[in-house]
Structure 1
Amino acid sequence: MRTVGKVLIILLAIVGLIVVALGGLAWYAASHIDVADTFRDPLPERVVLHLPFDRAFTEGEASLALSGFGPSSLSVRQVVAALDRAADDPRVVAVVASVGESGRGMGQTQELRAAIDRFRQSGKPAVAFADTLGEGQTGTVDYYLASAFSEVWMQPSGLLGLTGFGIEVPFAREALESLGVDAEYGTRHEYKNALDSAVRQTMSDEHRQSLQDLLGSFEDQVVQGVAAARGLKTDAVRGILNGPPLFAAEAQAAGLLTNLGYWDQVLAQVGGLSKGAEPVALARYAELEPLTGPDDAPTIALIRVAGTIQRGTTDPSPFGAAESTGGDTAAKALRKAIDDPLVRAIVLRIDSPGGSYVASDTIWREVMRARERKLPIIASMGDVAASGGYFAAMGADRIIAQPGTITGSIGVFALKPVLSGVWDKLNVNWDRVESGDHALLWSPNRAFTPAEQAWFDRMLDTIYADFTTKVGQSRGLDAGQIDRVARGRIFTGTQAMDLGLVDSLGGLDTAVLEAKTAAGIAEDMVVRVAPYPEPKTGFEALREMFGGEEAPVAIGTLLRLGGLLAPLTGEFDRMGVATRGPALLAPPGVRSSP
């Protein structure tokens, strides 16, 4: 094809065919396959659970049943619940974990460490194995998890990279300027550094101090955790963190490893400790019992805010947990729980770096409605609950965070790219007609006028004032205290608790326990922890995407996209632009985030 227009038409046709083909395949699967049958075989009388700790787990349960075929589909809650059940299950005689470079955060790591610790209190062996930890990257967080096991094995050829924490940040102001890219932007205030990579060429003192404080708190937590778990002095562990990676034999001599050996030797050792036991994957064991609890038990609603917070509804994600949360979807779930007479309390689980100010405020309002109705609501933080994530949490009766949760970031930023320099370099002229003086305020093809810049600054001030006022009211902080915790500063959960932004430290199980207490439910009483909204089965999600309302929406979107591109591709045709593949020039939109 010689032109962009023809290539784009073919591309859209191919995408449409793929959508239709996937829809047919998914509908057939929904009609003929029952994935749950995979997990219905009874367990052997004695089992050793295999824990796939060489990958991070999702925050929420995946909606697609087909995703249950792999361990990556397991949620943190499923893993923790399975370990807690295994501690009391006489059929489970031991657990053995594969540990590797997982990329998980400190919050999830601490949730899993606590579950392993509870399992060990049953007196059953808990063995961790890694072929290497930190080959080409730091292995600090993954070893921190492994250290919680009663035995820690490593392949003799492995490395243990217990080398601390580090962050590298690119700064591309000059590169963007060389391309003709400029920006109208603003932050409130100096510690709100989300835009710095695009608008600065070096790291600011405030940015550097904020990251140093965060990583310093992480290091303290790892040093104390590893020292306590392995029976070492904290100074010795800190010394190891300040050195290069250790060879496996060196790590064993330092007391960080209990054994050197290969995977088959680990299995032989565990098999000798638990004769007659058969290996069972954690995914299979986790599927044996529902997470919610008995239907006749008191109900605690579990509502999740995960990923970027956006306006509107949560994007469907049938192949795994959602990567974003729509403010309307979360608000609807909260309203449903508030209006349900069977719900005794709400746990709001947040694992989000923030997003839309308006969407975060929508969620905050429903949290306040729960409090107005005297319905206890407890916020539980995962790896991160910062900026808009903290906005959603701050109105809860109590806030629970892990020591390593990243939170705070009480501030706001906004950005409008200005591409006039790009168009100048390309000899492209944009002309305009507008019926109002500010109709094209957000156009990336021109800078703000002085009046628009003044309004832009007032917008940021208004959002920041709203955020900080609500923090003060929710957390009982005066103006001086608010200023010390706001201005965009980030904190770990430990630091946030010391500053009054968080009430106590712990995981989702801690939040459920506090919800029971607030609702007047006995600590030892079994409760039904029910997700709101109720998760779709995998095939329901597929039907919705390919056989329900989503199919015509997708097709309509493709058709509209083709129509929108027609003028642009027509101009390319007239200009004689040729390409080997599709090209689309679409100026990015404004970003505004608390």
Structure 2
Amino acid sequence: MKQFFIYVLATIAGIWITILISILGSFLMLIMMIAAGSGSSSPEISKHSILHINLDGSIEERAQGKSLIDELQGIQNNSIPLNDLIKSIRHAATDSKIDGIYLECNGGSAGTATLAYVAEELAKFKESGKWIVAYGDAYSQGNYYLASVADSLWLNPIGNIDIHGLGGSTPYFKGLLDKLGVEAQVIKVGTYKSAVEPYIMTGPSEANIQQIKAYINPIWDYIKDGIATGRNVDSETVNQWADSIIATQNPATFASRNVVSSLLYRHEAEDWMKTATETDSDESLNLVSPTTYAASIKDKKSDNKIAVLYAVGDIVDTGNSGIVGAKMAPMILDLAEDDDIDALVLRVNSGGGSAFASEQIWEALEQFKAKGKPFYVSMGDVAASGGYYISCGADKIYCQPVTLTGSIGIFGIIPCVKGLLTDKLGVNVSTISTNPNANLSLAEPMTEIQRAAMQRQIDRGYETFVGRCAEGRNLSVDSIKAIAEGRVWDGMAAKRIGLVDELGTLNDCIEALALEQGYDKYQIVEYPDPKGEWWEEILMASGNVKESILNEELGEARQLYNAIKKATQLERIQCRMEPIVIE
């Protein structure tokens, strides 16, 4: 009886704690919403302001809502929203209150196409006659690529610059899986479909090496030529900087070699900007961040509304992050029925994921087109495999020269843990069933009949994928198959072989759509709302706490943990390109 009362009291205590947490969470979210509302008025920008682009975090497609856990812990998000950044650079060119742009290079990161987009907009900004200056104590290669556009590129006298070319690393897990007694049973279509290789091989296949070299070299040529143009040197000189490990060299020679404009300490760079903006030496520079500046820009109002729908991250069937098929498909159908929305630009930055979710999103986009509304696609850093699947039906596809796309292929992975259970843990699994294939168990390897059945399903999915691409691109199935096989292409090659229509940025895509439709004026409406609902934040809070603790404890090992976790959670059939880090 005593134990019974202890259980009852514990249950009551648990209920009250849950209620208190819910009330506290709701109260905090209410405060956050009130605070957000109170700061919703447009900030005032004073004369002689400088657009200050502080590259100390990652450049992401758009602003993300701050989670409840981040608010409670006081965590600052240093990421730079690409949409705010581009909007700010464009508007600053004609704003008399903005004298110039200051690129403060602190090692921030971004995808290659993202960097190219920003570099292009900075070059256009210079055409206004306004200045751009860059300063850094240590330049990463990506930061240096952007800084090379500047009129003046300054380096701390004892700083360094990293230029090394492009390369990427992929972890291969077969050795680990063998030690654990786990077999990755792979069924795929596509010679170049290399996303499965880390689970069944100890290194890349010859086909994969071939395709990586085929796209990484032209991408490096594009970046290298951009640096060469900005620094007024030839491209081979930039290669020499990379080959000589310039990061280890004495910066005293950099100015004479045009690597930098001059060597300055930070206060000297600030003094130059004070003179340029007529700011007294004892006063602070009037620096304005892209996010603050973008908030001050009044959006154009028009009856012609173009929806920009962001499809960023992994494609999944359900969930709360990435491109969620169960959420995005209904959203597209709603846009199709919305009389206020006249056209759609799908902004894709995804290496793919679930084949099922990709098909649902593709079909919803077909319904959008059936309403007689134009539908364009703008590709970011990557729009491959499932990312290409959801793009292929567009009226026009835009990508950048350094975008990675294609990877038209499909695969499935079914792990077999018999070795782990029986050999490692001493667990025997017994199956009793009415039919031979009533129970496709992870504890037993697939039979030949089961593998053949899975292969038929994968083949059918591949034929569907290829058929969607052929229909969308107005090409024959054989023409698509000739460039498919899971092969990844750079943007320039993609345009040459007909996977995309034009080379250009998101703004180029939007402007082309507006011109095609004859819009003199138009209004951009972005979807989905990145903030989400307050009650979703509360429900997700416990999961965010767990993830935060794991990331803190695992440190650098969290990438390996996340890769293994993702592999165990994949939907059965995948349209996915292997994750590639180019840096």
From 296, 321, 334, the counterpart of 1:288: 296
Q: Distance in 1 between matches of 2:132 and 2:316?
A: 41
1:45 to 44, 47, 55: 47
1:396-420 deviation digits (Å, cap 9, x = unpaired): 0011111111111110111011110
Matches within 5 A, 1:539-558: 541-546=533-538, 550=539
Partner of 2:3: none
2:390 pairs, out of 375, 389, 392, with 392
CA contact (8 A) 1:344 1:519 kept: no
Give the match for residue 27 of structure 1: 29
Distance 1:27 1:240, change over 3 A: closer
Give the gaps of 5 or more residues in structure 2. Answer: 1-6, 280-284, 547-564, 576-583
Query: What residue in structure 1 maps to residue 245 of structure 2?
Result: 244
Residues 1:329 and 1:261: Cα distance change in structure 2 (over 3 Å)? same
Equivalent residue for 2:65?
Answer: 63
Structure 1 residue matching 2:254: 3-state secondary structure = helix
Aligned match for 2:118, one of 112, 121, 124: 112
Correspondence list, 1:412-451, <5 A: 412-424=410-422, 425-434=424-433, 436-441=435-440, 443-451=441-449
Structure 1 residue 435: Cα displacement: 5.1
Q: What does residue 470 of structure 2 align with? A: 472
Secondary structure at 2:60 match in 1: coil
Q: In structure 2, do the counterparts of structure 1 residues 174 and 238 end up closer, same or farther at CA, with 3 Å as the change threshold?
A: same
Q: CA deviation at 1:149?
A: 1.7
Residue aligned with 2:194, SS: coil
Cα distance in 2 for partners of 1:439, 1:22 equals 49
- Residue in structure 1 matching 2:90, options 76, 80, 84: 84
Instruction: Tell me how far apart the structure 2 counterparts of residues 390 and 520 of structure 1 sit (CA, whole Å).
Output: 28
Aligned match of 2:353 in 347, 352, 355?
355
CA contact (8 A) 2:43 2:296 kept: no
1:73-110: CA deviations, max 9, x gaps? 54211110011111111000011011233231111101
1:230-264 CA-to-partner distances (Å, cap 9, x unmatched) read 22212222332332124333333321211211222
Query: Kindly tell me: are residues 432 and 20 of structure 1, through their superposed partners in 2, closer, same or farther at Cα, counting changes over 3 Å?
Result: farther
Q: 2:286 aligns with which of 278, 291, 295?
A: 278
Instruction: Tell me the equivalent position of 2:153.
Output: 152
Query: Are the aligned partners of 2:43 and 2:292 in contact in 1 as well (CA < 8 Å)?
Result: no
Counterpart residue number, 1:262: 265
Q: Runs of 5+ in structure 1 lacking a partner? A: 1-5, 134-138, 316-322, 559-584
The alignment's TM-score, normalised by the length of structure 2, stands at 0.84
Of 522, 529, 533, 2:524 maps to 529
Please state if 1:126 is matched with 2:107: no
Deviations 1:91-150 (A, max 9, x none): 0001101123323111110111122112111111111112112xxxxx333321221222
Q: Residues 308-359 of structure 1, C-alpha deviation per residue, up to 9 Å, x if partnerless?
A: 11114x51xxxxxxx4011132222221222222322110111111011011
Q: Is the 8 A contact 2:59 2:109 kept in 1?
A: no
Query: Match of 1:462?
Result: 460
Hey, what's the Cα distance between the residues in 1 that align with 2:521 and 2:254? 43
Instruction: Report what 1:571 is aligned to.
Output: none
Change over 3 Å in CA distance of 1:334–1:590 after alignment to 2? closer
Q: Which amino acid aligns with 1:265?
A: E
Please identify, of 381-390 and 214-223, the stretch whose mean Cα deviation from structure 2 is larger: 214-223
Distance 2:260 2:403 in 1: 27
For each residue in 1:130-184, what CA deviation from the matched residue of structure 2 results, as whole angstroms up to 9, or x when unmatched? 2112xxxxx3333212212222111121222211011223333233212211121
Residue pairs, 1:179-258, within 5 angstroms? 179-246=180-247, 247=249, 248-258=251-261
Give the count of matched residue pairs: 532
Equivalent pair of 2:132/2:152 in contact (CA under 8 Å): yes
Partner SS for 1:287: helix
Post-superposition Cα deviations, 1:476-511, rounded to whole Å, max 9, x if no partner, equal 333453233211111111121111111111111011
Encode CA deviations 1:499-552: one digit per residue, 9 max, x unaligned. Answer: 11111111110111121023221xxx331101234x26x5x6224433xxx58x
Question: Structure 2: which amino acid aligns with 1:261?
Answer: L
Q: Give the whole-Å Cα distance in 1 for the aligned partners of 2:403 and 2:267.
A: 36
**Match for 1:593: what amino acid?**
Q
Q: Which amino acid aligns with 1:403?
A: P
CA 588–280 in structure 1, closer or farther in 2 if over 3 Å, else same:
closer
1:462 Cα deviation after fit: 0.8
- The one-letter code matched in structure 1 to 2:389 is F
Secondary structure at 1:72 match in 2: coil
Corresponding residue SS for 2:533: helix
Question: Highest relative contact order (Cα 8 Å, sep 6+), 1 or 2?
Answer: 1
SS at match of 1:452: helix
* Contact residue 331 and residue 362 of structure 1 kept, 8 A: yes
Specify the SS of the correspondent of 2:193: coil
Q: Deviations over 1:249-281 (max 9, x none)?
A: 333332121121122221111111111362223
In structure 2, the residue corresponding to 1:267 is in which secondary structure?
Answer: helix
How far apart are the structure 2 equivalents of 1:518 and 1:70? 42
Over aligned residue pairs, what C-alpha RMSD do you find?
Answer: 3.1
What's the CA shift string for 1:199-242, capped at 9, x where partnerless?
A: 01232101111111221021110122112222221222233233
Pick the aligned partner of 2:503 from 502, 505, 510: 505
Distance 2:389 2:311 in 1: 11
8 Å CA contact 1:416–1:589 kept in 2: the answer is: no
Q: 2:58·2:80 contact (CA, 8 Å) conserved in 1? A: no
What amino acid is aligned across from residue 508 of structure 1 in structure 2? L
Specify the alignment match of 2:104 in structure 1: 98
Q: Distance in 2 between matches of 1:509 and 1:456?
A: 43
Q: 1:173 to 1:129 in 2, by over 3 A?
A: same
Relative to structure 1, is the Cα distance of residues 358 and 173 closer, same or farther in structure 2, using a 3 angstrom cutoff? same
Change in 2 beyond 3 A, CA 1:23/1:419:
same
| Deviates most, 244-253 or 457-466 | 244-253
Query: Secondary structure of 1:447's match?
Result: coil
CA distance in 1, matches of 2:478, 2:254: 47
When structure 1 is superposed on structure 2, of 482-491 and 397-406 the one drifting more is 482-491
- Match of 1:270, SS? helix
Letter matched to residue 207 of structure 1: N
Q: Percent identity?
A: 24
Asked if the contact 2:54/2:106 (under 8 Å) is kept, the reply is no
The one-letter amino acid paired with 2:163 is: L
- The 3 A distance-change label for structure 1 pair 203 and 336 is same
Distance 1:352 1:39, change over 3 A: same
Q: Is the partner of 2:202 in helix, strand or coil?
A: coil
One-letter code aligned to 2:426: N
Moved more, 458-467 or 56-65: 56-65
Q: Partner of 2:240: helix, strand, or coil?
A: helix
2:374 to 361, 376, 400: 376
Distance across 2 between alignment mates of 1:41 and 1:391: 41
In the alignment, residue 23 of structure 1 is paired with which amino acid?
G
1:580 corresponds to which residue? none
Tell whether the 8 Å contact from 1:185 to 1:416 is kept in structure 2 after alignment. Answer: yes
How far did residue 198 of structure 1 move?
A: 1.5
TM-score (norm 1): 0.83
Whole-Å separation in 1 of the counterparts to 2:567 and 2:383: 30
Q: Is the 8 A contact 1:413 1:460 kept in 2?
A: yes
Instruction: State the one-letter code of the partner of 1:29.
Output: I
Kept after mapping to 2: 8 A contact 1:387/1:408? yes
The AA in structure 2 aligned to 1:414 is G
Whole-Å Cα distance in 1 between the matches of residues 363 and 325 of structure 2?
A: 11
C-alpha change, 1:360 and 1:38, in structure 2 (3 Å) is: closer
Counterparts of 1:495 and 1:249, CA distance in 2: 40
- In structure 2, relative to structure 1, the CA distance for the partners of 1:36 and 1:270 (3 Å cut) is farther
The one-letter amino acid of 1:455's match is A
